[in-house]
Amino acid sequence: MKNYSAKEIKNIVLIGAPGAGKTTLAEAMAFEGKVIDRRGSIENNNTISDNTDIEHEYKRSIYSTTLFTEFMDRKLNIIDCPGSDDFCGSLFSAFKVGDIGVMVLNAQNGWEVGSELQSRYARILNKPLIGVVNQLDGDKANFDATVEGVRANSSVKPVIVQYPVNQGSGFDSFIDVLMMKLYKFVDENGKREEYPIPESELERANALNQELAEAAAVYDDALMELYFEKGSLTQDDIRAGLKLGVSKRDIMPIFCASGKRDIGTKRLMEFIINVGPGPLKAPAFLSTEGEELLANDTESTVVFVFKSQIEQHIGEITYFRVVRGKVTEGMELVNSRTGNKEKLSQLFAVAGKNRVKVAELSAGDIGCTVKLKGTRTNDTLAAPSAPVAVEPIVFPEPRYRAAVKAKEQSDEEKLGKLLNDAKYEDPTILVEYSKELKQTIIQGQGEHHLNILKQRLSTENKMELEYFAPKIPYRETITKVAQADYRHKKQSGGSGQFGEVHMVIEPYYDDMPEPTKYKVNGKEITVNIKGKEEYDMPWGGKLQYYNSIVGGAIDARFMPAILKGIMEKMDEGPLTGSYARDIRVVIYDGKMHPVDSNEISFKLAARNAFKDAFRNAGPKIMEPVYNVEVLTPSEYMGAVMSDLQNRRAMIMGMESDKGFDRLNARVPLAELYRYSTSLSSLTSGAATYTMQFASYEQVPADVQDKLLKAYTDTDEE
């Protein structure tokens, strides 16, 4: 195949709710560009897009698929994205390298929650959209209701370019009000005939053509003057105005289609080529230094990796966009993250599972290579003479967490490697071993997201694993002043152990005054500060440690051991074994023995004194609380709110957002396990949510009592 320049390339992203028909539309596009000679179907498991066993089983997209088609001497790179929000990471990757989104709408369902979510992502990422009302051959197809749904719910104004003449099971014709023609499709392979608009449709077509001209004229003063002067615009003038309106994300041109029967595919592709922004007109990539990286193929090469994949029998496949310059077979580039050289020994244009070998790719193009040594998603490869790093993709925060382990303990090491491979392929999967919880925690976008991973590891790698409820990273702290002393004494022949520590502890807060005097249990304790140390704890909060020993009661050389004992008990708090935080400790007295005192004695004395004081200082358990935002159709709002209140949520606010209700709440993490599944069940899959850590807050008394009863102190002195 030929090498295309930036002005001959369009990079498009197919988005939409599950079942909208993105994959069948992608199939029709590939067929029209003769990349495939016959169209496959979801039912027959032979589409160019959904080509994995797990996608065949579920009959829908799980992973994004990159493909291309050649049409009108142009190359269209297409990324077909999953509709489920559990796999939204693919959409963020795709929009990093795609310049325009094609929002596919199911004419039978109209504007769905999935449409709303993916439209919001496009808005966040500032990507323009073209709308395609698909499945107009469905029995319940309703074009007008679908367009009104877009108008009512989208932040982008729909502008009708085409409307159907005979939607429903007999659908085979639509009127194009830009071309002012009727298109009739005479077979299942996109063959069309052109006719003048019939008299019965002329009034509506003229009115919509006028609306199209008005929408186009808004974005250019010269076009506006021309429109006022003549009362109309030519096709080329309308295209020029629409190009500006689409790029500004103000308008969404609406097209008609049946991807399954290849109706409307050609006209959609023609419009994308004529109107959609390409690499030269779309906003430039930015470097991490804020430099604009223009799609100029004469400058030094910059390549951005947006997807990594491991394929059996091949190994690692790296998908990239050429941001600047040209990439040629055998070229050596430098990974800006690792500093290592990578040789691109083979280059491919990507058509789903099929890869077409090419000698070079120019700025703006998308391709893949294989067997790079250490390059992964979000890495930049650049010419050694001009190193640069592209601003990375910012993926959404995880919404679901579970503890994970292999069913067979002997498989734990193998599981660790496989989970690392999963992170490599999908950056929205996070895996870490929590020293605090003593569990491996896996996080993803939802329960379905992680269950797909589990199923894949079982099928492809014969790895059986199980998920279970993760422990909660509680924190322990105190609410009042307390005093304790503890003597550690041990005599068992030979040199013994002796250390006695007296301490006061109190809650720490920012800018609190220095300690001078305490009155505890009727006893006054005067503080003479000899030394002060302050530590930011790795898990949050502070420890202030004061040496107030007078008269040499404890030798200075034992003070670090006392601190170590306190730190050990903060690392495993006295109440539940969770981390302790925000505490001031004053060591004001003690005793030592000229022979038997040593560091271990004072460490153990301090540890036990701290534990006793802590339990008398109004101890409280704090739990992580998250800000949760739920987006739901209005009819489910009552059920969603009631469910959240049962989860100890504090409702912070509600608002309507174009047909959907948005609810903001603060919810304890302990109550959010499997929330994605419950929410889906409550709303028939129509709602979604995001969650973000907010703060640590005190647990209610009844919850604290349950936690204390559940915990057995396992200190081994």
Give me the mean pLDDT over the 557-582 stretch: 94
Question: What's the rounded Cα separation, in Å, for the pair 580 and 568?
Answer: 10
**pLDDT surpasses 90 at 281:** yes
**pLDDT surpasses 90 at 241:** yes
- Please check whether residue 453 is in contact with residue 445, taking contact to mean a CB–CB distance below 8 angstroms: no
Question: What's the rounded Cα separation, in Å, for the pair 128 and 99?
Answer: 8
- Backbone φ and ψ of 556, nearest 5°: -60, -30
> Pairing mode, if any, of strands 251-256 and 157-160?
parallel
- Look at phi and psi of residue 550 and say left if phi exceeds 0, alpha if psi is from -120 to 50, else beta: beta
Question: What's the rounded Cα separation, in Å, for the pair 254 and 241?
Answer: 15
Question: What's the rounded Cα separation, in Å, for the pair 395 and 430?
Answer: 11
Question: What's the rounded Cα separation, in Å, for the pair 624 and 698?
Answer: 9
Give me the mean pLDDT over the 642-656 stretch: 95
State pLDDT tens for residues 142-167.
Answer: 999 999 999 988 889 999 999 999 99
Beta strands in 658-702 (DSSP E): 660-668, 688-698
Question: What's the rounded Cα separation, in Å, for the pair 227 and 233?
Answer: 6
Q: Does domain 285-382 have CATH number 1.10.260.40?
A: no
Fold (topology level) of 621-706: Alpha-Beta Plaits (3.30.70)
Give me the mean pLDDT over the 679-689 stretch: 88
Give me the mean pLDDT over the 40-45 stretch: 90
**pLDDT surpasses 50 at 715:** no
Contact residues for 370 (Cβ-Cβ < 8 A; gap 6+): 314, 315, 316, 317, 318, 345, 346, 348
The residue written with tokens 């008299």 in the block is 199
**Share of residues in the chain with pLDDT > 70 (%):** 98
**pLDDT surpasses 60 at 714:** no
> Pairing mode, if any, of strands 181-185 and 173-176?
antiparallel
| Predicted local confidence at residue 712, as pLDDT | 60
**Share of residues in the chain with pLDDT > 90 (%):** 85
| Predicted local confidence at residue 297, as pLDDT | 93
> What residue type is 87 in one-letter code?
F
Tokens of 115: 């449409």
Q: Residue 466 forms beta bridges with which residues? A: 405
Contact residues for 313 (Cβ-Cβ < 8 A; gap 6+): none
In CATH terms, the superfamily for domain 400-471 is Elongation Factor G (Translational Gtpase), domain 3 (3.30.70.870)
- Candidates 479, 441, 421; CA nearest to 618 is 479
- The mean of the pLDDT values for the chain is 94
Beta strands in 563-687 (DSSP E): 579-580, 583-591, 620-633, 650-657, 660-668
Reading across the β-sheet that carries 251-256, which strands appear in turn? 65-71, 74-80, 9-15, 100-106, 129-134, 251-256, 157-160
- Backbone φ and ψ of 615, nearest 5°: -70, -15
| Predicted local confidence at residue 658, as pLDDT | 67
| Predicted local confidence at residue 709, as pLDDT | 86
**pLDDT surpasses 90 at 401:** yes
- Please check whether residue 345 is in contact with residue 333, taking contact to mean a CB–CB distance below 8 angstroms: no
Q: What is the pTM of this model?
A: 0.87
| Predicted local confidence at residue 213, as pLDDT | 95
Q: From 3.30.70.580, 3.40.720.10, 2.60.40.10, 3.40.50.300, which CATH number describes the 6-275 domain?
A: 3.40.50.300
b/e burial code for range 213-223 (CB count within 10 A of at least 16 → b): bbbbbbbbeeb
pLDDT band of 660, cuts 50, 70, 90: confident
- Please check whether residue 100 is in contact with residue 13, taking contact to mean a CB–CB distance below 8 angstroms: yes
Element (H, E) at 461: helix 447-461
Sign (positive/negative) of CA torsion 611, 617, 618, 619?
A: negative
Apex 640 CA angle, 396 and 63, nearest 5: 35
State pLDDT tens for residues 89-108.
Answer: 999 999 999 999 999 999 99
The residue written with tokens 């005479």 in the block is 186
State pLDDT tens for residues 459-515.
Answer: 989 999 999 999 999 999 999 999 999 999 987 766 789 999 999 999 999 999 999
| Predicted local confidence at residue 28, as pLDDT | 96
Give me the mean pLDDT over the 573-583 stretch: 92
The residue written with tokens 């319940």 in the block is 140
Domain ranges of the chain: 6-275, 285-382, 400-471, 476-618, 621-706
| Predicted local confidence at residue 659, as pLDDT | 67
Question: What's the rounded Cα separation, in Å, for the pair 668 and 183?
Answer: 57
**pLDDT surpasses 60 at 713:** no
State pLDDT tens for residues 165-183.
Answer: 999 999 999 999 999 999 9
Question: What's the rounded Cα separation, in Å, for the pair 643 and 648?
Answer: 9
Same fold, 6-275 and 476-618: no
The residue written with tokens 């005067």 in the block is 526
pLDDT band of 686, cuts 50, 70, 90: confident
State pLDDT tens for residues 70-88.
Answer: 999 999 999 999 999 999 9
Apex 538 CA angle, 535 and 540, nearest 5: 85
**Considering the domain 476-618 in this protein, what is its CATH number?**
3.30.230.10
